[in-house]
Chains A and B, each alone.
Chain A
Amino acid sequence: MLRHISSSALLVAVLIAWELGVLLSGVSPLVLPAPSAVTETLWDGLVSGALWQHLWVTGAETLLGFALGCVIGFLIGAILAEMPRLRRLLWPYVLASQVVPKLALGPIFIIWFGFGMTSTVIITALICFFPLLENTITGLSNVPQEKRDLFRMLGATRLQTLLRLKLPTSMPVILAGIRVALVLALVGAVVGEFIAGSKGLGASIIAAQGMMDTTLIFALFILITLMGLFFYQIIVVIERRILQSRQKGTF
């Protein structure tokens, strides 16, 4: 409780210092708007409904890209973890695909899929893919040898070993990958909109930049941060539920 009060007090102190700093220094709002102006712009945008459609588009792109990247990353991770030879064969290419800056692929996706949501979702999915792939491989490959020997002694099939030993054992590692992927998904969606979007919070930032509307850019930053925190909290709650049900054996 004291920690929360201290954090909130720090935020209030920073905002007051920022407000006073802008007022006393006379710096132009084009360079640094006052928090009161940012709050007013944010409030107007939400009340008028102008920001909601962008919020919705970015939220949808984030979640779609996140889901797509996670599902593909998990499935390929599971296949590569179960087939070490295939992993040795494909790993250099998987690594190379991740070293390429995803945003540099934006123009190609615009040519292939057009300007809009599809391209942004694919950029987001590509960004989310790797943490899930890496964590799935790491989790499934690091099950203690004695437990794997136990399942061998008990005559378990490969599928039984995967579903009843490896997956439950590696669940905390895979869920950590999902958490990382979600944070990256929002970054992917917003930056993807910089390149390939006409709607969404990222596209709105670019539009605001064109109009030199720094106040709106700050308002959009706040909205993106709040959305990120909201998604992160949801994932933390889901993760806790999954780990609790795993502990209770209902997983």
Chain B
Amino acid sequence: MQTNPTSITLSKVSYTFSNGSKGLLGIDFNIPKGGFYCLVGRSGCGKTTCLKVAAGLLAPSSGSIKIGDSPVDGPSSDVGFVFQTPSLLEWLTVIDNVLLPISLKGSVNKSDEKFALELLELAGIKHLAQRYPEQLSGGQQSRAALARSLVTSPPVLMMDEPFAALDALTREDLQDVLINLVEASGTTVIFVTHDIGEAAYLGDKILVMEGGLITHEVEIDLPRPRASDLRYEAHFSKLCRKVRSAMLLGAGQC
């Protein structure tokens, strides 16, 4: 399931809400091909706005966004997006939900179905393919949403606190599922979260946001592939403390 990974570049991106309040105040970052960057920060710091602008769901007030060499001027099929809620369609089975991005573009063929089932297997819910969303737990729905976002093998995946509503153990399971899926595909990822441990476990780099700005960047020099035991190592704790300090400093600056 190898994709064709690409870079993401935001240059001096600002965003002003319709009520005049500032959402983003000149965001600059570049995620290299296959990079996994996490955006962290307190509620209301602009993480989700930044992600939506990067995805083309919101038009920036100024600045530019590029995916690879192509400027972003609206939602693009190069981007898979996972929302805060799984947003599955209740009247479709899990497999039909996963195949939704393909069925909106045309007819679904056997190889699409096979690939969707492979993704569900990697997500650990192949046996639930014919169930309806209301028959699944929250964690299972999140797995289905993750599989749906990858079914078109997008070069870029953007995720907006997708595991925030789940219990700690399910969240850890899903973090491992995500790592497996993304490492298998080589997809470039922006992952928004307010959980420092989650960001440190998943990311190559953490961008700390506060008041619509990126105030700090923290390099995560943990080896890959990553496994659950990593969370209990001293270096992991040190990185988490570093991110936490950066968040506190960021809050102090704004």
Contacts and interface: CB of A to CB of B under 8 A. Distances in A.
Contacts of A249: 91-93, 96, 132
A153 B156 CA distance: 12
A150 B83 contact: yes
B55 A168 contact: no
Given A164-B104, A246-B91, A247-B132, A146 B55 contact: no
Contacts of A152: 57, 75
Contact of B87 (A146, A247, A251): A146
B86 to A, nearest CB: 9
A47 interface: no
Given A153-B79, A155-B104, A251 B91 contact: yes
State the majority secondary structure of interface residues on A: helix
B180 interface: no
Interface string A135-169: 00000000010110111111110001000110010
A147 B79 contact: no
A149 B55 CA distance: 10
Interface in A103-160: 144, 146-147, 149-156, 160
B194 to A, nearest CB: 18
Interface in A227-251: 246-249, 251
A156 B87 contact: no
A168 B100 CA distance: 15
A149 B101 CA distance: 13
A247 B133 CA distance: 10
A182 B157 CA distance: 48
A146 B85 contact: yes
A142 to B, nearest CB: 15
B221 interface: no
Contacts of B87: 144, 146-147, 150
A251 B89 CA distance: 13
Q: Is the interface on chain B under 10, 10 to 19, 20 to 34, or 35 or more residues?
A: 20 to 34
A150 B132 contact: no
A164 B92 CA distance: 10
Given A154-B101, A164-B104, A149 B93 contact: no
B85 A155 contact: no
B81 interface: yes
A132 B179 CA distance: 48
Contacts of B52: 149
B95 to A, nearest CB: 10
Contact of B100 (A146, A149, A154, A246): A154
A150 B162 CA distance: 14
A149 B77 contact: no
Nearest to B132: A247
A153 B89 contact: no
A155 B81 CA distance: 12
Interface string B94-120: 001000110011000000000000000
A160 B104 contact: yes
Contacts of B185: none
A153 B81 contact: yes
Nearest to B74: A152
Contacts of B90: 247
Interface string B60-98: 000000000000000101011101110101111100100
A162 to B, nearest CB: 13
Interface of A: 144, 146-147, 149-156, 160, 164-165, 168, 246-249, 251
26 contacts: A146-B85, A147-B87, A150-B81, A150-B87, A151-B104, A152-B75, A153-B55, A153-B57, A153-B75, A154-B77, A154-B100, A154-B104, A155-B75, A155-B77, A156-B104, A160-B104, A164-B89, A164-B104, A168-B89, A168-B91, A246-B91, A247-B90, A247-B132, A249-B91, A249-B92, A251-B91
* Top 8 A-B pairs, shortest CB-CB distance: A146-B83, A153-B81, A246-B91, A146-B87, A153-B75, A152-B75, A154-B101, A156-B104
